[in-house]
């Protein structure tokens, strides 16, 4: 622990409980702001190209979506009928 940190902690101990909570709140907000500004850089959709090849196995994308929706509808209907 650095001497500066030791000094700061000793000074914080001299504060009232309410003031100590303010220190915690202030520090937390600072850390949140830093985390937001230091977050990972946004990714480009181009980086995903080729990551999951042959998912559709040559099937047309719209056909695949329609088939998937149909399967969801059928599953939902079975659930409703089962109730």
pLDDT > 90 in the chain, percent: 52
Query: Which pLDDT value is given to residue 24?
Result: 95
Q: pLDDT tens-digit profile of 27-54?
A: 999 998 888 777 777 778 888 777 776 6
Residue whose entry in the numeric block shows the structure tokens 């979506």: 65
Q: How far is CA 83 from CA 7, 70, 71, 78, in A?
A: 66, 20, 19, 9
CB neighbours (10 Å) of residue 23?
A: 13
Instruction: Tell me the average pLDDT of the chain.
Output: 87
Residue whose entry in the numeric block shows the structure tokens 């977050």: 39
User: pLDDT-based confidence at 58, cuts 50/70/90?
Assistant: confident
pLDDT: is 23 or 47 the higher one? Answer: 23
């Amino acid at each position: 622990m650095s001497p500066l940190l030791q000094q700061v902690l000793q000074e914080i101990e001299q504060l009232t409980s309410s003031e100590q909570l303010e220190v915690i709140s202030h520090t937390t907000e600072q850390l949140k702001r830093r985390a937001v500004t230091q977050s990972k850089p946004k990714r480009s959709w181009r980086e995903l190209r080729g990551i999951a090849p042959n998912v559709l196995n040559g099937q047309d994308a719209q056909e695949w979506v329609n088939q998937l929706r149909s399967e969801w509808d059928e599953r939902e209907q079975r659930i409703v009928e089962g109730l």
